[in-house]
Structure 1
């Protein structure tokens, strides 16, 4: 919130009124460990951009962000040995600390990519936070690779703005909108870049500090909520396999299925519910094609999505095999 509040103050905006509407004040925000609902943060960001008549506010603030403002996560990044290690450790720290958020460094494709997404589809619009996050990550990478470094490509889930020039100036690479997710694509050689400020002991200390803070502030969730969260995070980027979900929760596949059955549900039912909710929310997005919508909820194409929605409408959806990869038809 620091960069955002400073931008409002610098423009002479009525920052106090904005904070009051969200039941916040400067005293609360003076504590770097104050916890805010992620939806409040995102809504304030969107409102601030409108208030300042600056549609690329998030883009600018990400570019100018100082790593010290990211707290322990920023120190974990600068204290890691290589850019690959830094990006992964940074992502794990932020993902654990910031709710409803999914981010990771993916290496399965020709071009490695760092993706960022708010996994709660009902939080929309969220372009300012998204542009801030990708802009900030590129700023962080330039601290390691040098100011002349450019991504291979940048992707955004929201529709393209009327003016694309600020994005060309910021990223200096192809920028695509209305995509399945938000991502920064890099070259493989970038990941092996050494970080000159690397300090293994500092990194270990900061990771422990971040873990302690996360544990202190963590809100306990039921097993059903934990499964829903994992499904929402993975829906658009990987196959949903019960064994993998169980492993991430520290359970055997049989134990997970038994506990969910006791709660009156199953992985199949949860996947279906999350997909339906996501489709209902994402359908209202401006500029999102049916093909992009299908990919965002884990379907191969729009025809598979159409069949699924017909099944939902009739409430007679065929059962999918929960023990293996998601099939093309539910």
Structure 2
């Protein structure tokens, strides 16, 4: 369907708005089946390699449960379990795994690694997170927005904090392709790459949305979605003190919530959260916080990706 069979999921750059919407609708259907206790067999007989250079809660559990729910076998391969990039090249590892597995998930540092796995393995490869992109998270986020707000197109989506990390990058792509009005609120030193901004503005123009990048926190006014992420991504821990000082004015607190001036606003965070840094405990635990709906939806959307590309 929509040309997805055998297709890798490396970045939302590679997916049209129609393909993204199909995955969201499929995820909704699969979620309903699971809630009804209907066990699936759409991945029966499939074997999926799960490569993890970085630790994970949601990504690992989502892929594992999604596989088992539909009859597939997931095989976890930690950074000390295989020779990837150390004693064996990525290309050689890909060619070995591609002959044994029906698909490969990779969560690690380099986007180049996941691209090479897809190039050489001959099977669908899924990006569970790299330093550049986190596309499976964005699918879960978009599904969550649809569930709570009814639709995507025309909604104002404000992301505040570190504007050049993998989450900001991927949210820009996904929101602009799906016709949302995206606002990145970040200090100028943490703005996204200008080339990516221009690319996403083109996506927004085609999809009927818009993209603004600013350092003014009052740009969150009217937001239907207020989203943040940790101030220091994995591997950047040595920058913590500097980032806290720089980003303190961009904390999501009750004062910032009031700036949205939208009673229907929802708060989102991809987790894990450092409460007291990017978000206060009060906001995190509020009724408008949907962070655990997002976390659950990782499983349903990841399942949809695997079903669409493998079954």
Higher Cα radius of gyration: 1
Greater helix fraction, Structure 1 or Structure 2: 1
Greater share of strand: 2
TM-score, length-normalised on structure 1?
Answer: 0.28
Larger RCO of the pair (alpha carbons < 8 Å, separation 6+): 2
Query: Which TM-score applies when normalising by structure 2?
Result: 0.29
